[in-house]
Every structure is written in structure tokens, then in C-alpha cells.
């Protein structure tokens, strides 16, 4: 039904940044994280032991099965709480649905998918709101709990840190490839598996090792979210593109020209801060801009914790987790974000 489903449907990050500049920010000492650093969620301190993490995400279908769409949208909405080290607790449904164009069974299936994924995350959905609209869109507004001194932000990356990514990328390419009849069934199955996968266990590992810098990879692509993190943390970031785990045949699909429009919007956002290796492969470069739906966590962690963190991620079933950035200077497939 849609040209760009999932997080590919986001407004261009460049346009968004322009508009948000003029929006006055509320001033309150209890606001611990706001839009100023363009983080994954806002955080509001209730008392010395409790702060609330608030976030919302919704988007048009990224696949044709309504139940799976519901699961993916919910996993994606809840992810922003995990990315900040919070425990998601409550949520509200946000739904746009064309009641005259689609059977109400599809509506019920989307909600059921969202409910089941929320339940898996320990989140109780206690309400929602629907308007009649085409194409359908679905997501959640989520509330999580966090200790005010244990917030993980995109401003927490430090010079010398290593970067770990917990899910392979390429969901935008694969889902576009499916619409064009270019992606294989196994590509699509793997992409949907990744999009449905909660970032819960990755977040647990971050908390265990007291990691302070992280974000999740969604609509602005790996490079776009890395740049936001670099800016908020005031560091530069170098990603070794040959180390980035990819879903199925993503590389070949891009090689055959399957590059969604959202990738070019994301490239435009990062471009002026971008320094890529002269020998960087064009396909790998474009994959860095692929809009992810419900992507993995990007963690910035000190060198001495890398091995243990990777072991724990593996033990938690996140076997595709990889170190995608180190302090090494020798690498001819890098993409560097300078603030």
C-alpha cells in the first residue's frame, strides 16, 4: 500500500532539524533529557530514585501481514526506552486506519501484534486513539522507568570508545527489494525477524556494564544516528563499514541498484560532516544510509569492556553483534562523522 513503509517514512532529518530550531524548549530542572540533544526519548525526573522515559513512534506498514506489522511497530516504539537504559512499563496505541478501504480484521490483527509484542516486553497497553486515515499507520506512545543517575544517552560517547552494533542492517533495502521482486524469501524472513526482535537483552547488557553512550538505529540509518551521537557527545566517529553486519543479500541488492529514496535523504543530512575513505566501496557507503525499521543498538563502550560485552550479547542470542568501530587508524573502508 505504501511507497515507504516503516521508519523510511520519516521526514528528512535535515528538514526536521531546521524546524526544531525554532521550537522553544520548556525549562524545568526535572527535565533530564529533551530534544536539545535529539536523543531517543525524553526523560523527566519524578524524585531522586525515579525518572520517566517518554517516547512515541508510529509509521505506515513495512510488510503486508497486519499481525507482523503490529509486532514490528511495537518493537520499534519500545526500543527508544531500551536505548536509554529504561524499563518500559506502559503504552498507548496510536492508530490510523482506513475503515472503508480495509477489513476491520486487519485492524484487529495490527492491534493483536502490538499487544503480543508489548506483552513480551512487559509493557501494558492501557489505551489509545484511532483516526480514519489512509494508508494505515500504527505505533505506541511508551512510558518507561529509569533511575535518574543511570540514564544512557547519545551524549555519552567518549574519545577512544569502541562501537558495537547489535543487529545487522539493511531492512530498508530488503523491504524495497521485496516490492520490486528482487529480494529472496529468506532475505525478507530475516529482515522481519530482526525488526520484530526487541532490544531488551541488548539493553540488559548495557545496564550490567554501566554503559553510558548508546542509541538505536532507525530511520536516519546507521550513519545518521552515529552522527547524532557524535554531535551530542562532541566526538568524531569512525565506522569500519566492512565490519558492519548485513542482512542476507543486502550488499547484492544495493549492487543491483536497489537503493531506497530515504537513503539519499539520509546522505544529505550527514554529507557535510562526512569523511569517507577514498577507497570506500560505494555499496557499503550507501548501506550506511539505509533507513532501518526497529534496528539494533549502537553502543559506545570503553575498550576494556568490549570482550565481555560481546560475550554477553552472544550468550543472550544476539550472535550477529559486531564491533564496527575501534581506535585503529589502519582501515580503508571507513566512514567518519566529524562534528
Closest CA to 81 of 21, 117, 39: 39
- What share of residues in the chain are helix, strand, coil (percent, to 5)? 40, 25, 35
Q: Residue written as cell 525488526? A: 195
Under the rule (CB under 5 A), what is the footprint of Co ion? 40, 57, 80, 129, 216
What's the CA gap between 135 and 101, in Å, rounded? Answer: 9
Q: Which is nearer to Co ion, 57 or 290 (CB)?
A: 57
Q: Which is nearer to Co ion, 89 or 182 (CB)?
A: 89
Q: How far is the CB of 199 from Co ion (least distance, A)?
A: 10
| CA torsion angle 268 271 277 283 (round to 10) | -10
Largest CA-CA distance found in the chain, in angstroms, rounded: 59
Q: Which is nearer to Co ion, 59 or 115 (CB)?
A: 59
Angle at 156 between CA 293 and CA 198, to 5 degrees: 30
Q: Which is nearer to Co ion, 83 or 241 (CB)?
A: 83
Closest residue (Cβ) to Co ion? 40
What's the CA gap between 209 and 215, in Å, rounded? Answer: 16
Q: How far is the CB of 227 from Co ion (least distance, A)?
A: 14
Decide: 156 and 83 in contact? Cβ < 8 Å: no
Q: How far is the CB of 96 from Co ion (least distance, A)?
A: 13
Q: Is 258 a catalytic residue?
A: no
Q: φ and ψ at 135, to 5 degrees?
A: -75, 170
Q: What is the DSSP annotation of 138-181?
A: EEEEEEEEE-TT---BTT---TT-EEEE-S-B-HHHHHHHHHTT
* CA 269 distance to own-chain centroid: 17
Write out the three cell numbers for 218: 532507525
Q: Which is nearer to Co ion, 139 or 245 (CB)?
A: 139
Catalytic residue chosen out of the listed positions 4, 6, 7, 248: 7
Q: φ and ψ at 188, to 5 degrees?
A: -65, -40
Q: Which is nearer to Co ion, 78 or 318 (CB)?
A: 78
Is the bond preceding residue 135 a cis peptide, omega within 30 degrees? yes
State the catalytic residues.
7
Amino acid at each position: 500500500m505504501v511507497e515507504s513503509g516503516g521508519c523510511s517514512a520519516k521526514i528528512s532529518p535535515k528538514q526536521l532539524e531546521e524546524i526544531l530550531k525554532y521550537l522553544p524548549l520548556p525549562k524545568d530542572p526535572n527535565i533530564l533529557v529533551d530534544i536539545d540533544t535529539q536523543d531517543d526519548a525524553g526523560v523527566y525526573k519524578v524524585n531522586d530514585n525515579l525518572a520517566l522515559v517518554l517516547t512515541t513512534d508510529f509509521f505506515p506498514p513495512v510488510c503486508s501481514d497486519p499481525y507482523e506489522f503490529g509486532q514490528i511497530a511495537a518493537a520499534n516504539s519500545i526500543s527508544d526506552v531500551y536505548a536509554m537504559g529504561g524499563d518500559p512499563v506502559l503504552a498507548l496505541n496510536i492508530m490510523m486506519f482506513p475503515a472503508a478501504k480495509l477489513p476491520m480484521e486487519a485492524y484487529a490483527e495490527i492491534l493483536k501484534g502490538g499487544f503480543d509484542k508489548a506483552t513480551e516486553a512487559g509493557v501494558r497497553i492501557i489505551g489509545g486513539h484511532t483516526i480514519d486515515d489512509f494508508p494505515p499507520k500504527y505505533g505506541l506512545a511508551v512510558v518507561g522507568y529509569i533511575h535518574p543517575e543511570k540514564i544512557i544517552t547519545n551524549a555519552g560517547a567518549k574519545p577512544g570508545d569502541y562501537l558495537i552494533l547489535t543487529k545487522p542492517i539493511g531492512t530498508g533495502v530488503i523491504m524495497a527489494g521485496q516490492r520490486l521482486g528482487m529480494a529472496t524469501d529468506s532475505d525478507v524472513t530475516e529482515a522481519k525477524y530482526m525488526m520484530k526482535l526487541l532490544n531488551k537483552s541488548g539493553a540488559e547488557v548495557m545496564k550490567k556494564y554501566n554503559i553510558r553512550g548508546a542509541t538505536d538505529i532507525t530511520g536516519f540509518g546507521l550513519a545518521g544516528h552515529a552522527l547524532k551521537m557524535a554531535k551530542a557527545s562532541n566526538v568524531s566517529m569512525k565506522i569500519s563499514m566492512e565490519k558492519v553486519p548485513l542482512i542476507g543479500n543486502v550488499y547484492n541488492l544495493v549492487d543491483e541498484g536497489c537503493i531506497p529514496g530515504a537513503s539519499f535523504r539520509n546522505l544529505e543530512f550527514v554529507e557535510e560532516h562526512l569523511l569517507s575513505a577514498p577507497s570506500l566501496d560505494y555499496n557499503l557507503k550507501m548501506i550506511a544510509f539505509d533507513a532501518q525499521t526497529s534496528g539494533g543498538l549502537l553502543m559506545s563502550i570503553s575498550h576494556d569492556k568490549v570482550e565481555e560485552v560481546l560475550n554477553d550479547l552472544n550468550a543472550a542470542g544476539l550472535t550477529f553483534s559486531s564491533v564496527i568501530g575501534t581506535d585503529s587508524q589502519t582501515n580503508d573502508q571507513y566512514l567518519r562523522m566529524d562534528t
